[in-house]
Amino acid sequence: MPDVVIVGGGPAGIRAASILVEAGLRPVLVNEAREVGGQGYRKPARSLALDINALMGSEAGKYQRLHSLFASLRERIDYRPGTLVWGIHEKTLHTLSDDVAGTIPYDALILATGATDRIMPLPGWTLPGVFTLGGAQVILKDQGCLIGSRIVFLGSSPLLFLAALQYRRSGASIAAVVDTTPFSAKRAAIRDLAASPRTLARGVMYRTALHMAGIPVLDGATPLGIDGKDHVEGVRVKDSRGRERLISCDAVAYGHGLKPETQLAELAGARFRFDPDFRLWLPETDLDGRAGADLYLAGDGAAIGGADAAEASGALAAHALLADMGRPQSETELVRLRRQVERLRRFQKGLAQAFAWPIAQAAALPDETIACRCEAVTVGEIRAAVQAPLGPREVNRVKAITRCGMGRCQGRFCGPALQEIVAGACEAPIAEAGRLRIQAPVKPIPLHAALELEP
Amino acid sequence: MPDETKQTAHKGQFVRVVPRHGTKLRLTIDGAAVEAVEGDSLLAVLLLNGRVVRHLEFGGEPRAGFCLMGACQDCWVSLGNSERVRACTTLAADGMVLWTNPRKDNVDA
């Protein structure tokens, strides 16, 4: 039997595993987290007295179904929780689990690595008390904590309203929800958003609920900066009517939608193309997730589609893998899954317009703003490097000169902004700025792990 | 509804809203004793008791993590014995010694 390995224990990875198990395989499922569910369906630790059904709201049924499905698979797969895949070389995964290095060879690989928040730098965004929007949700589910005593939800993301509502229901004091996209952009995106009327309705419901709770919601505001000496003390914004306002708070949940975690896909040999709708470099796949020989991508790690698309694309990747092994798959089922994934990803494309990546904010960033939090590289240093005589116009060269993107996170958080700043500084189209290349280890590992290359 | 009096008296960045039941743990942060419960991440322990996780290698500005899910690497904290761990994905253990400032850490070593 071929060695099939799945990386990622979220909805895409679990669904892929279930299709492979039904086909009589026993895949390895590698999960960096200790619990399955990914970030969205993250399972709270047993000791936490959290009512997860109340927190998940309308998605509680799906959450429970996914965890029941995993429980039914648990003994029929080779499950490796708490295991980081930090490198991929010649069809072998290099892993680290409880500080012990290991390798997992594979014949076929499904990557379902999920997503993180996409972030645009802002003056003060490295102050203690500023966290990603996704992180604000994770800390509530994982640790039963709120990120602060008085919170501003800032940025532009469909998760902005959901996270604010979850916080409100948990007893948080919310100073404001500040959406940086004007409401007109949401109306303009309605055609793509209509691809998933149920999700659209849910979004409207979240917003209404916040309004009813008396929480100020600002549309089309421009963030000017996060103020504070040693920690967050307030957020300065210019509202849609051009008035400057200071919103006092001690925490900020900040984000601009999601960005696929594509580092392992790149190491496994996937090719990338620039996606003008998301303004991101995304791995190239066919409809079913094939990204190269014996390589399949699924879920938000391939293209942002949300949890339902993740499950369907996980199933598709598994069917594609089985078909490539010479086991014919039901064409009807493939067509159904492809339609579902296509529809949900079209919806996300609409969301990317309705909650826009703030390109104008990148151009307006003061020079002293930190762009790279790992290496403390400023926007001005990047602009100066690009605009120097014979200066670089490509992000990897800019990285070599400025160290932006060279730190521990490997450009996960500064990468999208670096592209905008470089393209803006040399007045070139964004795609020409290129894409930061990744290297193993994709996350920091102890030196001994890198030296133990033999199993 | 949030308890305003409790919140203004709160010295930490994080506010616990869901109780955790389990074995009590004792740790120190920069030499001061703190309590935690089994299952708490180091990040939660640090930010329930203060507003800083570490100081940046360049310039020493305070940082308190960012992504909270193991991606940004901005919460690596010193355990005082030259070992460093990522606070958001490391569980607290009894007797752990945490240093938010590497200079104090050097004095300890």
Token couple for A338 = 């492809």
- What's the pLDDT score for residue A269? 97
Segments making up each domain of chain A, as ranges: 4-116+259-351, 119-256, 365-433
The residue assigned the tokens 């938010």 is B100
CATH number of A365-433: 1.10.10
**What domains can you pick out in chain B, each with its CATH number?**
22-100 (3.10.20.440)
At A93-138, the pLDDT tens digits run 999 999 899 999 999 999 999 999 999 999 999 999 999 999 999 9
User: Cα–Cα distance between A303 and A75 in angstroms, integer?
Assistant: 30
At residue A242, the pLDDT reads 95
Cα–Cα distance for residue pair A434/A421, rounded to 1 Å: 12
Which letter, b or e, does each residue of A56-92 get, where b requires 16 or more Cβ atoms within 10 Å of its Cβ?
A: beebeebbeebbebbeebeebbebbeebbbbbbeebe
Is the link from the previous residue into A441 a cis peptide, with omega within 30 of 0? yes
Question: In angstroms, rounded to a whole number, what is the distance separating the alpha carbons of residues A9 and A16?
Answer: 10
Strands A151-155 and A145-146: unpaired
Interchain CB distance below 8 Å, B48 and A251:
no
Per-residue model confidence (pLDDT) at position A166? 94
- What does DSSP assign to residue A43? P
pLDDT number for residue A188 = 87
Segment holding A85, helix H or strand E: strand A83-89
Q: Write out the two tokens for B10.
A: 């709160």
Query: Hey, which residues 31-70 in chain B have their CB within 8 Å of chain A?
Result: 37-41, 43-44, 47-48, 51-53, 56, 58-59, 61-70
Note the residue count of chain A. 455
- CB contacts of A230 in chain B (<8 Å) are 51-52, 62
Domain over A4-116+259-351 is classified CATH 3.50.50.60: yes
Confidence band (pLDDT; 50, 70, 90) for B3? very low
Asked if A47 lies within 8 A of B70 by C-beta distance, the reply is no
**Cross-chain residue pair B69–A135, CB shorter than 8 Å:** yes
Helical segments of A74-132, H only? none
Of A454 and A206, the structure prediction assigns the larger pLDDT to: A206
Q: Which helix (H) or strand (E) segment is A142 a member of?
A: helix A133-143
Enumerate the β-bridge partners of residue A244.
A238
Mean pLDDT of chain A: 94
Q: Are B18 and A47 an interchain contact pair (Cβ–Cβ within 8 Å)?
A: no
Instruction: Work out the minimum CA distance from A241 to partner chain B, whole angstroms.
Output: 31
Helices in A5-77 by DSSP H: which ranges? 11-22, 52-56, 60-73
Q: What angle do CA A314, A319, A325 make, to 5 degrees?
A: 130
Q: Give which of A223, A280, A230 is closest to A255, Cα–Cα.
A: A223
Percent of chain B with pLDDT over 70: 83
Q: B-chain residues within 8 Å CB-CB of A39?
A: 69
Residue of A1, A14, A19, A16 whose CA lies nearest to A107: A1
Of the candidates A33, A231, A412, the beta carbon closest to that of B51 is on A231
Q: Report the pLDDT averaged over residues A282-300.
A: 97
Query: Mind listing the pLDDT tens digit for each residue in A332-369?
Result: 999 999 999 999 999 998 998 899 999 999 999 999 99
Distance between CA atoms of A313 and A139, rounded to whole angstroms? 27
Give pLDDT, residue A116. Answer: 96
A280 touches chain B (CB under 8 A): no
Contacts of B70 in chain A (CB under 8 A): 32-33, 443
- The region that residue A141 occupies, defined by phi over 0 for left and psi between -120 and 50 for alpha, beta otherwise, is alpha
Which chain A residues are closer than 8 Å to B50 by Cβ?
none
Q: pLDDT tens, A398-439?
A: 999 999 999 999 999 999 999 999 999 999 999 999 999 999
Chain segment A273-284, per-residue pLDDT in tens? 999 999 999 999
Q: Which residues pair with B81 in a beta bridge?
A: none
pLDDT the model gives residue B2: 42
Domain covering A119-256: architecture: 3-Layer(bba) Sandwich (3.50)
- pLDDT at position B10 is 58
A139/B62 CB distance under 8 A:
no
Bridge partners (DSSP) of residue A274 are A281
- Nearest CB neighbour to A149, from listed B7, B53, B67: B7
Predicted structure pTM score: 0.95
Rounded average pLDDT over B19-47: 96
Q: Which of residues 40-59 of A touch B (CB under 8 A)?
A: 45-50
Residue A79 tokens read as 């499950």
User: Which one of B66, B82, B86, B100 would you mutate to disrupt binding with A, by most A Cβ within 10 Å of its Cβ?
Assistant: B66
Section A373-381 average pLDDT: 97
| Kind plus residue range of the DSSP H or E element containing B105 | helix B102-108
Q: Hey, do A4-116+259-351 and A365-433 end up sharing a CATH topology, with the first three levels equal?
A: no
- Asked if B79 has any chain A CB less than 8 Å from its own CB, the reply is no
Confidence of residue A453 (pLDDT cuts 50, 70, 90): low
Query: How much is the average pLDDT of A442-451?
Result: 86
